[in-house]
Structure 1
């Protein structure tokens, strides 16, 4: 067995945290995976994986070797892609990540357009409400909402979103439109547990932050459910502006307390820059950035009504 293949097997075992899971990922048998790791450890002369009947974890030597394997295999892939012309012609597999609802509303339509234009590319879209480690999970391009904290990445700002409070016009007609954030303590509130805006809502009053402790009458596990409950007149919710842009435009939801909103959150298209950037990444980043930058719901110029 060649050493590059052994490295791929070891990488799969370490990332999947098991021989059987690694075998499924590599589409081979668990005994062959076990033999490959054992042969590698024997040749190197040190233990890379500590095994028990219930668990498997990397030794210190294994952790260092894992990092080297990732680097070497990435360089090998880069060399093969360069030889195949992938730095001039978009082709191969692309992995993209974005928040769930943002991905469904804004990224997914762009994926289809891009694939129609570049037939040699295939895409996997990881839509999750967490910050994906791009290097660890093999992600080429990410959409980030909020301020960036990851080093070694390139980012293109494509817009921004607001943190808005909204309710249906019928609910506001019956219960009144709050003029001050403190009045939210008396309102029926529905929140999503997947949101970062659950227990405390921050506003700005006369240039100073104002934090309001929120005790929701109802908490659901998805943003869409909270939005639908607000749209149906049950109560008020706080979400990101892009999530309710269509409902607000249709008159199904109304924004309140806009004068007290905190600064908008930036939206970036992020990609790794380790050496030369493949054509599939360059073209997709340009394509996605242009589409998102043209969207009125993400355009700062339209963020506030007069």
Structure 2
């Protein structure tokens, strides 16, 4: 087994946090993974992985070696892609990330259209409700909602969304429509722990920022679950406007406190800065920018109509 194969196995073990999981990912036998790691540690002369019966962790040397492996293998991939013409022809594997609900509603349908248009590209979509480190996790393109702070990224704005409070018309008929954010303290509130909107709810009143920390009666782990509970007429929730655009348009949910909403958040297609951008990345970015930019659900211009 050559050293490049060993590096790939080591990366898989580190990222999957287990020998068996790495073997499944690479489609090789667990003993082969064990032998490869043992051979690496013997040749290098240091322990890369700390093993117990229940867990596996990188040692300090292993962490440094993992970073070097990622850099070396990335350089090899780039050299091979350049030789194969991938900087002019879209081809190879493309890794994309987005939040779960946004990915399911807007990105997943577009992935099928893109690969039909560019059959030499294979896409892996990582849909998670966390901010993924693009460099560390090998992400080519990310769809972000909110303002960016990294200086090593290019970003193209494709839309914007509002932070909205919603409930059913029936719930508001029974309990009254709040006229000020402070009145939500007596409401039945369901929150999603997957949302960055969970803890402090920000509002604006006559240009002044308002912040409230409400005690939810229900906390769930998914945005869609919070929306489903609100649709039952149990209470109110705070979500991003795209997440309930269809329900609001159908009259199932009603928005309240719109005059107190903070500024809309940008939706951006993001990729890492580089002197050379592979064709698979720039064609996918252009494709998303065109398709998402035309979606009315991602335009937060008129309150109550997005």
Compute the TM-score of the two structures, normalised by the length of structure 1: 0.91
In structure 2, how many angstroms separate the alpha carbons of the residues matched to 1:46 and 1:185?
57
Structure 2 residue aligned with 1:298 = 298
Q: CA deviation at 1:188?
A: 2.4
Moved more, 110-119 or 186-195: 186-195
Q: CA deviation at 1:144?
A: 0.9
Q: CA deviation at 1:259?
A: 0.8
Superposed counterparts of 1:1-306, under 5 Å: 1-303=1-303
In structure 2, how many angstroms separate the alpha carbons of the residues matched to 1:188 and 1:45?
60
Q: CA deviation at 1:302?
A: 3.4
In structure 2, how many angstroms separate the alpha carbons of the residues matched to 1:213 and 1:124?
38
State whether residues 95 and 123 of structure 2, in contact with CA within 8 Å, keep that contact through their aligned partners in structure 1: yes
Q: CA deviation at 1:53?
A: 4.9
In structure 1, how many angstroms separate the alpha carbons of the residues matched to 2:79 and 2:22?
25
Q: Deviations over 1:202-225 (max 9, x none)?
A: 211222221223223333332223
Q: Deviations over 1:214-269 (max 9, x none)?
A: 22333333222322332332222211111111111112222111111111111111
State whether residues 164 and 261 of structure 1, in contact with CA within 8 Å, keep that contact through their aligned partners in structure 2: yes
Moved more, 241-250 or 173-182: 173-182
State whether residues 94 and 124 of structure 1, in contact with CA within 8 Å, keep that contact through their aligned partners in structure 2: yes
Match of 1:301, SS? Answer: coil
In structure 2, how many angstroms separate the alpha carbons of the residues matched to 1:207 and 1:290?
34
Moved more, 59-68 or 47-56: 47-56
Q: CA deviation at 1:134?
A: 2.0
Match of 2:21, SS? Answer: helix
Compute the TM-score of the two structures, normalised by the length of structure 2: 0.91
In structure 1, how many angstroms separate the alpha carbons of the residues matched to 2:92 and 2:217?
49
State whether residues 94 and 281 of structure 1, in contact with CA within 8 Å, keep that contact through their aligned partners in structure 2: yes
User: Over the residues paired in the alignment, what is the CA RMSD in angstroms?
Assistant: 2.1
Q: CA deviation at 1:303?
A: 4.6
State whether residues 296 and 302 of structure 1, in contact with CA within 8 Å, keep that contact through their aligned partners in structure 2: no
Q: Deviations over 1:48-79 (max 9, x none)?
A: 33445554433333322222211111010111
State whether residues 255 and 304 of structure 2, in contact with CA within 8 Å, keep that contact through their aligned partners in structure 1: no
In structure 2, how many angstroms separate the alpha carbons of the residues matched to 1:250 and 1:201?
26
In structure 2, how many angstroms separate the alpha carbons of the residues matched to 1:70 and 1:216?
43
Q: Between Structure 1 and Structure 2, how many residues are aligned? A: 305
State whether residues 182 and 212 of structure 1, in contact with CA within 8 Å, keep that contact through their aligned partners in structure 2: yes
**Where do 5+ consecutive residues of structure 2 fail to align?**
none
Moved more, 128-137 or 48-57: 48-57
In structure 2, how many angstroms separate the alpha carbons of the residues matched to 1:77 and 1:31?
27
In structure 2, how many angstroms separate the alpha carbons of the residues matched to 1:51 and 1:216?
41
